[in-house]
Structure 1
Amino acid sequence: MPDDFTGQGAGDVVIEVKQGQSASEVAEELAKQGVVASARAFTNAIGNAGKSDQLQPGEYKMRKRMSAASAVTLLLAPDSRMLVTVTLAEGLRLSQTFAKLAEETGKPAKDFAAAAKDTENLDLPSYAKGRLEGYAFPATYQFQPKTTAKEMLAEMVKRFNQTADQLDLEGGAKALGRTPHEIIVIASIVQAEAGRQEDMAKIARVIYNRLDLDPPMKLQMDSTVMYALNKFRTTATIAETETKHPYNTYMNLGLPPGAITNPGDHAIEAALSPAKGDWLYFAATDPNSNVTKFANTYAEFQQLEAELRRNGG
């Protein structure tokens, strides 16, 4: 019988299971670190359990002087795997995304900014035009401690690509006479402008209605001005709307050159399936409820603005 400890062990030791390692290779490391009494005891225990092929790469919290059977149980338990959970809300800009990742993972924000510039290694879709803004998909992620900044961003792009496939982004864009990139730009504005999910499809319709007018109407979205100025308010001053910048839709016709947020699936769906209507204007009429109301004419829009003022906005 190979040497074996008894019981659950004590103390803490971190064991790394590398990609492609066999159970016997892991056993040698466990024995070396004093987790199990012998490599043979561990390989016998995991073999008898029929789980030699179920070891997953990652870092695990183990204990020293464990029985081989206890080591197998702990190493295969999902809670033993050391993971950092990061939840990225819909509508964050890249700068905010980097700050959140840095806060949760302990890695410097500059590492993420540097990784974002190396877009060739992020598997961005060709229509992203080499820009990560708009394509770092908001979701809850779990990363291993040794996951690099580049690998984290690549995982977000992977989730974007999966969502794009599920929503048929390319087919939907073609049906609307738009490029997939334009859809993401529209979705990013919808995400920034909408106070509630149920208003997103109507806001998308306002954008399309303005773009499709002959001659087209400027979008005049405050959110694009705030992005241009790297500010985070919801409304722009008159002076700010006169800023010369490619993203200022008060000064320039059409869509800005890129996304202004990283939109979630609801905003992308709204951009692909805008509501039916003739609205050209919208306004959040109550700062406390996030309710957005819509108008066909400028005179109606002025009434909405007056309602906002009455509500303290």
Structure 2
Amino acid sequence: MNDLDMDSLLGDAEDEGPSRRRSRGGPSRRQAARGRKRRRRTRRKGAAASLIAVVVIVAILGGGGYLAYNWVRGVMIPKDYTGQGSGEVTIEIAEGASAGQVADTLAEEGVVASARAFINAVDAAGKGASLQPGSYVMRKQMSAAAAVLLLDPEHRLRSSVTIPEGHRLSKIFTTLATATGKSVDEFKEAARGDLGLPEYAKGKLEGYAFPATYELTPKMTAEAILTRMVDRFNETAAKDDLEAEARKRGFTPHEIMTIASIVQAESGNHEDMPKVARVIYNRMTLNPPMLLQMDSTLMYGLNKYGIAATNAETQSNSKYNTYKFPGLPPGPIANPGDHAIQAALHPAKGDWIYFVTTDPAKGITKFTASEAEFWKLRDEFNRNNQ
């Protein structure tokens, strides 16, 4: 069939009259009119129903407006206390806690009336990103806005404790116990746990509790505190490339830390540390090797403190008695800082095999390669300590 024939057929279909359309199932004019009347009646009924609903709402608001307001308010506005609250409760914000988790904690502890009220207050104050982990003293039944203010990082409960370079572990435990209110035994027990010590530490904390200033919170356990100190050591060891540098010198990292602890104990100041380290290396590499004869190692083995061992003390059978046993003691005798570690890794150049702290009060140490000069320095020490 060509285009002309198709157009003719379509045109014929469009020109069909009413009788032709009815014969194909289309509605009559009378039926269409009846449909329009039914639609008008439906619209009138719907409008009437809407009007009735409006009247009911107006009646409720007019006759019981207060109840209706409270119902709407309870649905749309979260519960919240007013004022600054009363009493005290310590809240701990965990590391990585979200605002929602903090809100739930505050609601559970009775600090705020609802978690939603706190979240809204945080959003309003723009403090969502400033919630910091730690312990905070809050009040019971305080407004969410007031709770946000008390969670400022400046209000965290915290205490700082400084661990000086060269302290023995026993003294560190006492310092930490005093600062935290825990017992020394708690720290001794924690030291036997998994603190993240490097393998070369051989499970011993002495030498690896890094001296620094630490910020502590009331809920930190003894294990958490010691772990933080070991973490600081591990960071320092990585910075100093301790393992690789120890291999370059022909020592293990544990031996380097033992040398560093002796350097720390024997030095009067940072400037002397590389020289003290050189004396240690020189004595061990003499042919034959020379005993280290360090009072600091002997006193550690005797669990004493002192800078001048007696003849009787030098007869001790402790493996830390370097007057009797050659080479290094079994392990660190204190917890050295970074200066001492650096000195152990990078000793000064020199031929010294003796040093004497001639004036301990002023921290004056003198070095020599001559035994005769050494005895003169000992005499000077004795005169300054009469």
Match among 52, 61, 74 for residue 150 of structure 2 = 74
Q: Which residue pairs with 1:96 in the alignment?
A: 171
CA offsets 1:109-140 (integer angstroms, 9 cap, x no match) = 1111112123xx11111111121110011111
Distance 1:127 1:229 in 2: 25
**What aligned pairs does 1:239-254 form with structure 2 within 5 A after superposition?**
239-254=312-327
Shift of residue 23, structure 1, vs aligned partner: 2.3
> Does the alignment pair 1:275 with 2:348?
yes
Paired AA for residue 28 in structure 1: D
Distance 2:176 2:349 in 1: 38
Q: Which residue pairs with 2:288 in the alignment?
A: 215
> Does the alignment pair 1:161 with 2:161?
no
Distance 1:11 1:172 in 2: 57
* Larger Rg, first or second structure (1 or 2): 2
List alignment gaps of at least 5 residues for structure 2. 1-76
Distance 2:212 2:323 in 1: 32
Partner SS for 2:365: strand
Contact kept in structure 2, 1:7 and 1:67, CA below 8 Å: yes
Q: Which residue pairs with 2:380 in the alignment?
A: 307
CA offsets 1:9-31 (integer angstroms, 9 cap, x no match) = 45432112245544233223323
Match among 172, 179, 187 for residue 112 of structure 1 = 187
Q: Which residue pairs with 2:310 in the alignment?
A: 237
Paired AA for residue 353 in structure 2: L
Q: Which has the higher contact order (CA 8 A, sep 6+)?
A: 1
Partner SS for 1:237: coil
Distance 2:177 2:184 in 1: 5
Paired AA for residue 309 in structure 2: A
Distance 2:110 2:382 in 1: 70
Paired AA for residue 225 in structure 2: M
> Does the alignment pair 1:39 with 2:115?
yes
Distance 2:97 2:359 in 1: 58
Q: 157-166 vs 232-241, which deviates more?
A: 232-241
Distance 2:110 2:208 in 1: 45
List alignment gaps of at least 5 residues for structure 1. none
Shift of residue 56, structure 1, vs aligned partner: 3.4
Distance 2:380 2:232 in 1: 41
Distance 1:22 1:7 in 2: 25
Contact kept in structure 2, 1:62 and 1:80, CA below 8 Å: no
Shift of residue 32, structure 1, vs aligned partner: 4.0
Distance 1:127 1:24 in 2: 43
Q: Which residue pairs with 2:367 in the alignment?
A: 294
CA offsets 1:36-84 (integer angstroms, 9 cap, x no match) = 3432221112133444354333321123443322322321x22322223
CA, structure 1 residues 312+21, in 2 after alignment: closer, same or farther (shift >3 Å)? closer
Partner SS for 1:250: coil
RMSD value over aligned CA atoms? 1.8
Contact kept in structure 2, 1:14 and 1:61, CA below 8 Å: yes
Distance 1:34 1:147 in 2: 23
Match among 92, 105, 126 for residue 29 of structure 1 = 105
Partner SS for 1:201: helix
CA, structure 1 residues 117+32, in 2 after alignment: closer, same or farther (shift >3 Å)? closer
Paired AA for residue 56 in structure 1: Q
Distance 2:109 2:196 in 1: 38
Q: Which residue pairs with 2:203 in the alignment?
A: 130
Q: 2-11 vs 240-249, which deviates more?
A: 2-11
Structure 1 length-normalised TM: 0.93
Shift of residue 2, structure 1, vs aligned partner: 2.9
Partner SS for 1:200: helix
Tell me how many residue pairs correspond in the alignment.
Answer: 310
Q: 262-271 vs 52-61, which deviates more?
A: 52-61
